[in-house]
Amino acid sequence: MIKYIVSALVLGIGAGYLNSNWGSIGAGFWVSDYVFNGALIVLLFVMGLVFGLDKESVSKMRRMGLKILVIPIAVALGSILGGTVSALVLGLDVVKTMTVTAGYGWYTLAGPLVGQLFGAQWGALGFVVNFLRELFTIVTISLTARIDKYAPIALGGATTMDTTLPVIVRYCGSDSLIAAFSSGFTLSIIAPFTIIAVAALR
């Protein structure tokens, strides 16, 4: 199955690149916005349906309750801590690098926001680090799902409420739906706040 997903990703990147570089036929926005959102809405409905039908998944979610919120908190702390350590290793500005990793994979937020705060070069880094986070989560899913059921959720960060969610649920099972969605949801809400809060440390 992973070969279908990776092929679709590669073909999509190629098609998007060709479309925007050789006489865009105006379909670009249509594909990357309407088709993307339509597919996502269908998938969320289907995943919800399968989850609701499964008695075990529902009772497992009830048992977990609010404990489930430790996952996004751990992802947030881990990402920012990873930013600190990597800045020390690379000799970069520690606070600026922490704002980059505080995007948790949401590159359309982290790119412009970090760019606004610290200039275009840091914006580019915010863009790329968070973009690669999403890409890495999708491409490595078949391996990371085997290490630990929650590893793909930790990797996906804020993207586990949309782009990486269907892939995670395919590999980790229907009972991971709520853990993944709530983690991505929480991280998406706190991402802009944590980027600004970390930036204020300077």
The answer to whether residue 167 forms part of the interface with another protein (CB under 8 A) is yes
d(CA 126, CA 114): 6
Q: Minimum distance from CB of 4 to another protein (Å)?
A: 6
The answer to whether residue 176 forms part of the interface with another protein (CB under 8 A) is no
> Binding another protein by CB under 8 A: which of 26, 55, 62, 201?
55
Under 8 Å between Cβ of 185 and 197? no
The answer to whether residue 172 forms part of the interface with another protein (CB under 8 A) is no
The answer to whether residue 15 forms part of the interface with another protein (CB under 8 A) is yes
The answer to whether residue 94 forms part of the interface with another protein (CB under 8 A) is no
Q: Which value, in Å, is the radius of gyration of the alpha carbons in the chain?
A: 18
The answer to whether residue 49 forms part of the interface with another protein (CB under 8 A) is yes
Size of the site for another protein (CB under 8 A): 103
Residue 130: partners with Cβ closer than 8 Å, 6 or more residues away: 100, 103, 104, 105, 106, 107, 110, 111
Residue 1: partners with Cβ closer than 8 Å, 6 or more residues away: 142, 170
Q: What are the angstrom distances between the C-alpha of 118 and each of 20, 54, 123, 137?
A: 29, 48, 7, 27
Q: Minimum distance from CB of 96 to another protein (Å)?
A: 11
The answer to whether residue 143 forms part of the interface with another protein (CB under 8 A) is no
> Binding another protein by CB under 8 A: which of 99, 141, 157, 198?
157
Q: Minimum distance from CB of 101 to another protein (Å)?
A: 4
The answer to whether residue 79 forms part of the interface with another protein (CB under 8 A) is yes
